[in-house]
Amino acid sequence: MKSYVITSPVYPKRTWTLKAFRKGIEALKPAPEAVGIVTSQEVFREYFADNNLFVFVAVHPYYKIKLDRIAKSRSMLKEWFMAERDETYQWWIDSDIEVREDTYRKIHDRMAKLNCLMFSNGYQGRNSTRNWHGIGCTVIHRDVVDLGRFYIPRIRTDENAVRHICEDMMYFSPYHYASHAVVKRLKPEYDRLHVEESIAPVKHHLDERSDHPDYEYKINKRHHPDRRKKRKRR
């Protein structure tokens, strides 16, 4: 079975899922060679530093827009994998995803059967009866990891409002557009570039826990009266 590394961006103010996240990873068979983490030094020390499997890659960047933070974190993890690791696969697991012992084995075997280079495993979506197939549980062969880029484009709508497109959609876009060229010309030994299926059940921790201190922090920050913006009367 081919070797792999897990990469995960962890927002320092969203830690209530990390025990389940870590528990799932430590149960994996076969185990990853390493788990690259981008977060704050404090969060890494508290949740990961006691196990050498977890590697502190970089400090979680600060940008005003949340999606920009995520995109930059993912870019740092991708560059770390390409520059410092030599395993066959990079496996993105979001920090609110809890995998099972056999998750990698199921994805690996399915990729071998389909003869594909990239596999996005489905997980429960928010306010949706259908599974998401985002970057949150995606295994990618290192030969095509650099095909995509994580960034947040700004789009101006017809109503003159600025909207953003999420970073995983932008990362995936060349894999769909260039699929034929990659498989037929550059990697002809493969049949498919990117597959989206729900082959390995995982738990997506969507509900916030009210007994966790981060929940209290978020609620207080969101609703504190000093932070409410007063509307100016015209």
- pLDDT for 65 equals 64
Asked if pLDDT for residue 68 goes beyond 80, the answer is: no
The DSSP secondary-structure symbol of 174 reads H
Tokens (6 digits) for 63: 């940008």
Asked if pLDDT for residue 199 goes beyond 90, the answer is: yes
Average pLDDT, the chain: 86
The DSSP secondary-structure symbol of 14 reads -
Contact 85, 57 (CB under 8 A): no
Asked if pLDDT for residue 227 goes beyond 60, the answer is: no
The model's confidence at residue 208, banded by pLDDT at 50, 70 and 90, is low
Compare 200 and 66 and report the one with higher pLDDT.
Answer: 200
The angle at the Cα of 157, spanning 156 to 158, to the nearest 5 degrees, equals 130
Residue 151: burial class (beta carbons within 10 Å; 0-12, 13-18, 19+):
middle
- pLDDT for 63 equals 66
- pLDDT for 83 equals 97
Residue 88: burial class (beta carbons within 10 Å; 0-12, 13-18, 19+):
middle
Locus of tokens 């003159």: 160
The DSSP secondary-structure symbol of 182 reads I
Q: How far is it, in rounded angstroms, from Cα 231 to Cα 57?
A: 42
Q: pLDDT tens digits, residue range 84-112?
A: 999 999 999 999 999 999 999 999 999 99
The model's confidence at residue 216, banded by pLDDT at 50, 70 and 90, is very low
Whole-model pTM?
A: 0.85
Beta strands 97-98 and 203-204 are antiparallel
Tokens (6 digits) for 134: 């985002």
Bridge-partner residues for 120, per DSSP?
138, 196
Q: What is the CATH number of domain 4-147+191-224?
A: 3.90.550.10
- pLDDT for 133 equals 92
Compare 153 and 4 and report the one with higher pLDDT.
Answer: 4
- pLDDT for 93 equals 98
Q: Which residues contact 57 (CB under 8 A, 6 or more apart)?
A: 7, 36, 37, 38, 76, 77, 80
What percentage of the chain exceeds 90 in pLDDT?
61
Question: At 198, phi and psi to the nearest 5?
Answer: -110, 85
Asked if pLDDT for residue 164 goes beyond 50, the answer is: yes
The DSSP secondary-structure symbol of 213 reads H
Asked if pLDDT for residue 159 goes beyond 80, the answer is: yes
The angle at the Cα of 59, spanning 55 to 64, to the nearest 5 degrees, equals 145
